[in-house]
Chain A
Amino acid sequence: MNELNGYLLLSALLFAIGLAGALTRRNAIIVLIGIELMLNAANLNFIAFWRYGPNPEALTGVMFAIFSIAIAAAEAAVGLALIIAIHRHFKTTDVGRVDRMKG
């Protein structure tokens, strides 16, 4: 078992943990944390493939990871703003009880 294998398996495990949390928890913030974990697992894959790929001097994986981090930050900001707005309106962050789009 070489090193790339280890990184890929770790990334798959992180993705599965994030997916399990996002699918099973009731709290909207924990669902968002699960999505962040899945994004991070994808980033780890990019960096590992860049490092162990055929030409690491091309910097493609690093660039993709940097842009992905920026997009994840924007996503977290908008997601948390939405959760705060929902909490102000429904007085709960339980995704099972937020079942109306109309206020």
Chain B
Amino acid sequence: MDAIFAIIAALTVVSAAGAMFLRNLVHCALCLAVTFGGLALLYLKLGAQFVGFAQVLVYVGAVAILILFAILLTRSGQDDGHNLLSNKWWLGAGVAGAVFVTLAMCVQGSFVTGNRIPAAADPSVKAIGTALMSNYVLPLEVIALLLTAALIGAVIIAQKEKETGK
């Protein structure tokens, strides 16, 4: 457990908590961008360069900005800040705490984590591209179809409803 990991992990966890529980929605979105950046740093630290940069491009560049735009578009005049949490928030918090305790106990008691550490593999972008075009070509095509359908569907859902009464 080195210091760099500790710093990045603390940054990620604190900004994630901020993204969830801050009062101002714009601050939430900005904290979320910091969380995504911290995760990208962790990917880079683990040796997955391509995934790290894809995380920066897709999450920090696109998803966080998209969420920011949605927050600004749906901001209504009255700020209902008095009711931040739902009525039975203690139930949700209890479920989340129980999930974390269970996962942590599983991780601590697992035999997988006691293994020796293998030598670091350095996946070049070329290797990833070759794998995408050979072994994983069918999932790649399915993802392309899914992205096209999802984006067209998003535009259709978000556009103004026409007056169907005529």
Contact = CB atoms under 8 A, between A and B. Distances in A.
Interface of A: 1-10, 12-27, 29-30, 32-34, 36-37, 40, 43-44, 47-48, 50-57, 59, 62-63, 65-67, 69-78, 80-85, 87-88, 91-96
29 contacts: A2-B117, A6-B5, A6-B9, A10-B9, A10-B13, A12-B100, A14-B35, A15-B103, A20-B93, A21-B19, A23-B93, A23-B95, A24-B85, A30-B20, A36-B63, A37-B19, A51-B120, A63-B128, A63-B136, A65-B51, A71-B146, A73-B147, A76-B63, A78-B157, A80-B66, A80-B67, A80-B158, A81-B153, A84-B158
Contacts of B51: 43, 47, 62, 65-66, 69
Interface in B100-151: 100, 103-104, 107-108, 112-115, 117-121, 123, 127-128, 131-132, 136, 139, 143, 146-147, 150-151
A29 B58 CA distance: 18
Given A18-B16, A26-B83, A33-B20, 8 more contacts: A8-B103, A12-B100, A21-B21, A23-B86, A24-B92, A73-B147, A74-B151, A76-B66
Chain A interface, DSSP helix/strand/loop, else mixed: helix
A100 to B, nearest CB: 16
Nearest to A34: B20
Given A17-B17, A69-B58, A87 B104 contact: no
A19 B96 contact: yes
Contact of A62 (B12, B50, B153): B50
Contacts of A70: 58, 143, 146-147
A81 B158 contact: yes
The 6 nearest A-B residue pairs measured at CB = A23-B92, A21-B20, A16-B100, A20-B96, A74-B150, A12-B103
Nearest to B46: A51
